[in-house]
Amino acid sequence: MSLPDFYRDVPRLRVRDPLADFLGAAEGGVLDYGYEDAVKLAGHSCPTVASAYALGCHALAALYPGELPERGGVRIDFAEPVDAGVTGVIASVLTLLTGATQQGGFKGIGGHFVRRDLQHFGVELPLSLRFTRLDSGKSVDAAAELARVPPHPEALALLGPCLRGEADADARRRFGELWQQRVARILLDHWDDAAVFHIVPVRAAS
């Protein structure tokens, strides 16, 4: 299987999953995820998948400073309904990283390791997402401004012909290259760019 080389350069996420530990699925429950895992899950690589992966990594790092994030220990609220725009895609990628699922998710074992109903949609929020630790209630709001990393003009010009089946093999290949170049810029050049990825601590109610 051949994937773009830059996938290997994207920061990875290491978490501890108590369910994986309990069932002996991974030593100590430690799991390691890379951007290629998000791509395999979604079946494609695009700015949405890239931003979901990055936001998940940044939010977990902010919630668990100096320690491994607990997979299954976070609730995620979404400002948009699940069927709005790309919300469902973002939710799927965040399920991969955090374990948080919707109503059809894992119901647990004897009341432990419950993963279902940890994603909620159409919630009034200041930003697109809110990640909350279940143990402490610590929260961060998150959003991505992908317009700050615009697509190449040539990619925009090629999009229509490629979708209509009017482009030849070279043009389709060029479109794919330009598309992934933008993804690479988002994930490599702007990974730590606070103007692109917003992570804002939520103040506890007094």
Residue by residue, pLDDT tens for the chain (206 residues) are 689 999 999 999 999 999 999 999 999 999 999 999 999 999 999 999 999 999 999 999 999 999 999 999 999 999 999 999 999 999 999 999 999 999 888 999 998 998 999 999 999 999 999 999 999 999 999 999 999 999 999 999 999 999 999 999 999 999 999 999 999 999 999 999 999 999 999 987 65
The answer to whether 143 touches 198, Cβ cutoff 8 Å, is: yes
Residue 55 backbone phi and psi in degrees, to 5? -65, -40
User: For the chain, what percentages of helix, strand and coil (3-state, to nearest 5) are there?
Assistant: 40, 15, 40
Query: What per-residue confidence (pLDDT) applies to 130?
Result: 98
